[in-house]
Amino acid sequence: MHDIRLIRENPQAFDAAMARRGLDPLAAQILQIDGSRRATQTAMQEAQARRNEASKQVGEIKRTGGNADTLMAEVTALKDKMAELEAKEKELGTQLDGFLSGLPNRLADEVPLGKDETDNKELRRHGTPPTLAATKQHFELGEELGQMDFTNAAKLSGARFTMLTGQLARLERAIGNFMLDLHTSEFGYTEVSPPLMVRDEIVYGTGQLPKFAEDLFRTTTGLWLIPTAEVPLTNIVNGDIIAAEKLPLRLTARTPCFRSEAGSAGKDTRGMLRQHQFYKVELVSITAPEESVAEHERMTQCAETVLKRLEIPFRTIVLCSGDTGFCSTKTYDIEAWLPGQNAYREISSCSNCGDFQARRMNARYRSAGEKNTSFVHTLNGSGLAIGRCLIAIMENFQNPDGSVTLPAALRPYMGGLEKIEAVKA
RNA sequence: GGAGAGGUGGCAGAGCGGUUGAAUGCGGCGGUCUCGAAAACCGUUGUGCGUGCAAACGUACCGGGGGUUCGAAUCCCCCCCUCUCCGCCA
């Protein structure tokens, strides 16, 4: 959500910022609605002031036993006008909010201009893609291992579901545990096990509503299944005023994520790269405004460390203006090397949302002794997507016989197992 | 799912149709006292929005939304949430 005052103060700057998002100038239209809303509000408040004054007089006259009929009639007459002004004010307010809540965040200055993912800029690489005798994709490996079952998943639930069994199922659990342990014990994140179903206003707070409702699943009771733990973790501060000394808040959670994947029909249909349901370890930070840029770098490092420990080659990119998400001022994607696809694929996305979500959530902080509050900054990042991490491990550590060697960091979580091999038929 | 109780300022807790943005206590801030501190005492202490250069003024807010009334924290309706008991259940 944008600050209407900033738009009033500098409409040209606002239009320039939105232009970087590929939007036509909007400030004039917004300010026109804003202006007439304020004029209506002033008129309404003047009428209310008169009503309050007259009503007070009525009370006094009645107490002394006088006749207040004239004044009462005046207020009655005022009511129609007031109702009208109130309705108009509300309508203009709704219009303005609807307008503003549908606009994406301003981008950080250094975000490169670009149209789509082809204009993203690579920042750094780590590790060397392995030279493999034979290269199979994860779903070939998984099915040969007899532990990745798309047939039964489809029987149970249709397309875009996977069922893991045996050591692969355990590996999924091990990866999540490994990531949570790393973030909590080495990076100071607090583990959270949040609700997976949330209310309208919560999904609004992190910006998925109103614009992206079709990407989400909704229960018959009107709750939304979370598309990422970013939603419950960030909204923990919804409506709160936090003491400055408690910042930054660093939270992590491993949760299932539910996504309708509307609009991605035909994309990544094979395998478990793009599913309606997947596990992810999420990182969320709530910071003071001046800390968020440094926190963004730190968070990205935390996510990169996971891949370093797992010995998976990756690269880190900064998304261009056209590819940066709705709420974000700046986003780093980390892409893991997938030998089966001979490409780097997204496995983490770390965003600094500035005060954009905080405004929607009305999440503020107060410094000790200060009277005023300010909006916090919010950041979120995957640390990492578990399903995609499993794929990366399988493809990078595959052996010619179809078995998968486990990276050393995961073996303690696998009961010392060094290699996943095919189950006996 | 059934029955009941309740949601008021940072917290606790009064108020139940008019001068109540809201008693009182705690906490916070400022001061007196003190070498300093504690205690005591005095004063002060909500937020959003609008108008205004400012001082200031106005307005809204007692879970949320409607309604009754000249006037609503107070009366009525709907919704949400919390708690207690019963039922069911991982």
> Which ipTM was obtained for this model?
0.83
**Average pLDDT for A45-58:** 90
**With a 7 Å cutoff on the CB, does A59 touch strand B?**
yes
- Identify the pLDDT of residue A369: 64
Distance A88 CA to B9 C1' (A): 31
Distance A31 CA to B70 C1' (A): 37
Protein residue closest to B59, using CA and C1': A45
- For A397-410, the pLDDT digits (tens) are 999 999 999 999 99
What are chain A's domains? 4-101 (1.10.287.40), 117-420 (3.30.930.10)
Query: Taking 90 as the threshold, does the pLDDT of residue A300 lie above it?
Result: yes
Neighbouring-strand partners of residue A224: A198, A218
**Average pLDDT for A4-21:** 94
Question: Strand B: which bases are under 7 Å from protein Cβ?
Answer: 18-19, 29, 47-51, 58-60, 66, 70-71
The nt closest to A221 (CA vs C1′) is B80
Active-site residue list of A: 259, 274, 346, 349, 388
**Average pLDDT for A86-100:** 88
Torsion, Cα A309 A314 A316 A319, to 10 degrees, reads -130
> Which residues, including other chains, have CB under 8 Å from residue A77's CB and lie 6 or more apart?
none
Query: Taking 90 as the threshold, does the pLDDT of residue A415 lie above it?
Result: yes
Distance A9 CA to B54 C1' (A): 19
**Average pLDDT for A44-53:** 90
What angle, rounded to 10 degrees, do the helices at A166-187 and A292-309 form? 140
DSSP code at position A115: S
Q: How confident is the model at residue A245 (pLDDT cuts 50, 70, 90)?
A: confident
Protein-nucleic contacts, chain A 168-197 to strand B, CB < 7 Å: none
The nt closest to A35 (CA vs C1′) is B50
**With a 7 Å cutoff on the CB, does A135 touch strand B?**
no
Q: Tokens 């950080």 identify what position?
A: A108
- Of A312, A350, A349, the C-alpha closest to A138 is A312
CA A78-A82-A85 angle, 5° bins = 145
Residue of higher predicted confidence among A220 and A4: A4
CB atoms under 10 Å from CB of A324, counted, come to: 25
State how far the Cα of A327 lies from the Cα of A356, in Å rounded to an integer: 6
Report residue A200 as tokens: 């309208």
Residue of higher predicted confidence among A105 and A58: A105
Scanning A272-337, the segments in alpha helix (DSSP H) are: 292-309
The nt closest to A59 (CA vs C1′) is B18
Protein-nucleic contacts, chain A 364-383 to strand B, CB < 7 Å: 369, 371-373
Distance A199 CA to B81 C1' (A): 13
Distance A409 CA to B27 C1' (A): 50
- Identify the pLDDT of residue A212: 86
- Identify the pLDDT of residue A117: 93
Query: Taking 80 as the threshold, does the pLDDT of residue A278 lie above it?
Result: yes
Burial A75-100 (b: 16+ CB within 10 A, else e): beeeeeebeebeebbeebeeebeeeb
Cβ pair A381, A299 in contact under 8 A: yes
Residue of higher predicted confidence among A95 and A183: A183
**With a 7 Å cutoff on the CB, does A1 touch strand B?**
no
Query: Taking 80 as the threshold, does the pLDDT of residue A43 lie above it?
Result: yes
> Which residues, including other chains, have CB under 8 Å from residue A59's CB and lie 6 or more apart?
none
- For A123-180, the pLDDT digits (tens) are 999 999 999 888 999 999 999 999 999 999 999 999 999 999 999 999 999 999 999 9
Q: How large a percentage of chain A has pLDDT more than 90?
A: 69
State how far the Cα of A199 lies from the Cα of A220, in Å rounded to an integer: 12
Report residue A191 as tokens: 């583990």
- For A348-407, the pLDDT digits (tens) are 999 999 999 998 888 888 776 666 788 899 999 999 999 999 999 999 999 999 999 999
**Average pLDDT for A69-76:** 86
Mean pLDDT rounded to a whole number for chain A: 92
Q: Phi and psi at residue A176, in whole multiples of 5°?
A: -60, -45
